Amino acid sequence: MWEKLRQIWKTRDLRNSILFVLGMLVIFRLAAHVPIPGIGVQNLREFFAQNQIFGLLNIFSGGGLENFSIVMLGVGPYITASIIMQLLAMIIPALEAMSKESAGQHKINQWTRLLTVPLAALQGYAFITLLQRQGGGLVGELNSSQWLTAIVTIMAGTLFLMWLGELISEKKIGNGISLLIFAGIIAGLPGAIQRTIAAFDPSQLFNVLAFVFIAIITVSVIVIITEGQRNIPVNFAKRIRGNRMYGGVSSHLPLRVNMAGVIPIIFAISIILFPPMIAQFFVGAATPWIAAASRFVINLFQNQVFYGLIYFIMVFAFTYFYTYIVFHPAQISENLQKQGGFIPGIRPGRHTAEYLQLTVNKILLAGALFLGIVAVLPIIMQPLTGMSTLVVGGTSLLIVVSVVIETVKQIDSQLTMRDYEGF
């Protein structure tokens, strides 16, 4: 490990890239403590500590919500816009065709950025209105000038984070959006540890040990799932060009157990928090049946059994959904055929694509089940440990471990590339 760190530090451009990424994360953390003008934040921290839904959103915004900072929404609107565009690409054939081309992907990315702007304004307005309706002096009444300032500031903060994420991604040291979410989660750990130590009771020693044990098991399972892969053997036919012979070698095509990485968790959290948030917006409606339906939805999602079941189903479904988006067996089969490659015992073309799709479905079933079980495992164990922060901790741990593995892999690939350049 120390030898690798020394290599990273000696490689000038890689060292500068890592320092640049760290600098961007520091800027993000500083922005998370700059409050929106005209809004007080005296009672918000206590409210977010007691409300599970808003507390989870606060973690993914890096503490920006409880501070009512200029980046209070984090990268949430951008993630929502990405989900919408990917769903549309599956429904609209023209968008699906565009997504398969480099120029088309660039245009879709531009549309995603443009869609982020109205979503940021809508979510910012919804959050402020929801907090106003919670009462308790969380957010007071705002005049038109304060409303305009708040909404414009929230939009600018979201676009600023989106820009930071793209700058980080360009350095090829991990995914920028994932690293921003990672930084927001890690930033809350010191405070959580401090609160645990301050409120520590010797009678809760077993609960703390159970929490640590679950965290270790979760990390182990996530590492196994992320690193697990099935190697499909591929042979390349011999070809003669001029006086030289090419091909005639054997290789393999790696199929990962979980190709979607951390994306299913982010998608699932974004969707599962949407119904109770909307319900809280209408809980004070004048129409009795709307208010009753809103309270029913809120109570339903506060039920741990229902919440865990929906969370598991969403993670499972999004694992398949995102893999279907990023993995194209027909395209892989076509590329293999063009290169003179074939899978032993499988005819090239359509049969190869069907074989790859069937194989991915088999291994993905195990990956999706494991990922879903790990996601809800803290919820299952919460009654045994009695620690209310365990649900948030488990979800956060999934993202942290996956992002760390992805970042380390990209750094390793950068080092490997520079070793080859040395020859």
Summarize pLDDT for 319-344 with one digit per residue, the tens.
888 888 778 888 888 888 777 778 88
Query: What pLDDT is stored for residue 71 in this prediction?
Result: 86
Contact 355, 346 (CB under 8 A): yes
Summarize pLDDT for 211-231 with one digit per residue, the tens.
777 778 777 877 887 778 888
- Whether the pLDDT of residue 191 is over 50: the answer is yes
**Quick one: residue 172, left, alpha or beta (phi over 0 = left, psi -120 to 50 = alpha)?**
left
Reduced to 3 states, what is the DSSP secondary structure of residue 100?
coil
- Angle at which helices 12-31 and 390-422 pack, to 10 degrees? 160
Rounded to 5°, the CA angle 191-273-324 comes to 110
**Which range, 239-253, 265-279, 384-398, has the best average confidence (pLDDT)?**
265-279
Local confidence band at 423 (pLDDT 50, 70, 90 cut-offs): very low
Query: What pLDDT is stored for residue 378 in this prediction?
Result: 67
CB neighbours of residue 175 within 10 Å: 20
Average pLDDT over residues 352-369: 86
Chain centroid to CA 229: how far?
21
Query: What pLDDT is stored for residue 95 in this prediction?
Result: 81
- Whether the pLDDT of residue 391 is over 80: the answer is no
Q: Tell me what the pLDDT averaged over the chain comes to.
A: 77
Distance CA 116, CA 135 (A): 29
Amino acid (1-letter code) at residue 106: H
Reduced to 3 states, what is the DSSP secondary structure of residue 64?
coil
239 bridge partner residues: 246
Distance CA 200, CA 204 (A): 7
Distance CA 211, CA 213 (A): 5
Contact 322, 263 (CB under 8 A): yes
Q: Kindly tell me the burial class for residue 136, based on how many C-beta atoms sit within 10 Å of its own C-beta (0-12, 13-18, 19 or more).
A: exposed
Summarize pLDDT for 72-128 with one digit per residue, the tens.
888 888 888 887 887 788 778 888 788 777 788 888 888 999 999 998 888 888 777
Summarize pLDDT for 4-36 with one digit per residue, the tens.
777 777 777 788 888 888 898 889 888 888 877
Query: What pLDDT is stored for residue 56 in this prediction?
Result: 61
Query: What pLDDT is stored for residue 40 in this prediction?
Result: 58
Q: For the chain, how are helix, strand and coil distributed in percent, rounded to 5?
A: 75, 5, 20
Delineate the domains of the chain, giving CATH numbers in brackets.
Answer: 1-187 (1.10.3370.10)
Which residues are within 8 A (CB) of 310 and not within 5 positions of it... i.e. 6 or more apart?
272, 301
Chain centroid to CA 100: how far?
23
Amino acid (1-letter code) at residue 308: G
Summarize pLDDT for 35-69 with one digit per residue, the tens.
777 665 555 666 665 555 566 666 666 566 767 78
Distance CA 333, CA 77 (A): 36
Query: What pLDDT is stored for residue 392 in this prediction?
Result: 52
Summarize pLDDT for 275-293 with one digit per residue, the tens.
877 777 777 777 888 888 8
CB neighbours of residue 12 within 10 Å: 8
Which residues are within 8 A (CB) of 69 and not within 5 positions of it... i.e. 6 or more apart?
31, 32, 33, 34, 35, 36, 63, 157
Query: What pLDDT is stored for residue 348 in this prediction?
Result: 82
Distances (CA, A) of 22 to 28, 165, 176, 194, 255: 10, 12, 11, 24, 32
Average pLDDT over residues 399-414: 80
Contact 364, 320 (CB under 8 A): yes
- Whether the pLDDT of residue 318 is over 80: the answer is yes
Query: What pLDDT is stored for residue 322 in this prediction?
Result: 82
Reduced to 3 states, what is the DSSP secondary structure of residue 234?
strand
- In angstroms, how far apart are the furthest CA atoms of the chain? 85
Distance CA 319, CA 45 (A): 34
Query: What pLDDT is stored for residue 64 in this prediction?
Result: 66
Average pLDDT over residues 406-423: 71
Query: What pLDDT is stored for residue 46 in this prediction?
Result: 62
Local confidence band at 246 (pLDDT 50, 70, 90 cut-offs): low
DSSP code of 303? Answer: S
Of 398 and 387, more confident? 398
Contact 404, 416 (CB under 8 A): no
Summarize pLDDT for 146-181 with one digit per residue, the tens.
888 888 998 998 899 889 988 988 888 878 888 888
